[in-house]
Amino acid sequence: MPSFVTLSSRNDKKSDTKVFDVWNYDSLEDIEVQMSNNGIFIFDPPAGAKIYEFIEFVCGVFHPDSNVIFYICDEFGVPKESFRAVKFEFNGVTLTVSPYYRDPKKLYDKWWAEEKKLLKAKKTSFF
């Protein structure tokens, strides 16, 4: 499913972080985005985001009907061809999504496997 955003009125032109209003996901009102120097954009999940819905949103960025890459590249002043991937962290687990790796179920399964390792490590570190 394609993802859709608009530029938020809360943006500060001097900031390296840009805010975009999300249209089509209930638990995602807006998203903060930063640009790295290698075409990877860093998305910050908003408070209250649900992991599977956030993964679906990020995967939808690469859908041909999505407007997300256009808005983000326009706001950061870079050509859309430079947009290579999205990186995000959710509960201590970092994932990277690209046009070639954007299956929501596989990404969720990868996230959950890493999350279980973190939970197990926290559980055993108390003893």
Structural domain that includes position 104: 5-125
Q: How far is CA 111 from the centre of its chain?
A: 13
Terminal CA-to-CA distance of the chain, rounded, Å? 45
With pLDDT > 70 as the criterion, what percentage of the chain qualifies?
Answer: 94
Total domains in the chain come to 1
Residue 37's pLDDT band (boundaries 50, 70, 90)?
Answer: confident
With pLDDT > 90 as the criterion, what percentage of the chain qualifies?
Answer: 62
**For residue 108, how many other CB atoms are within 10 A of its CB?**
18
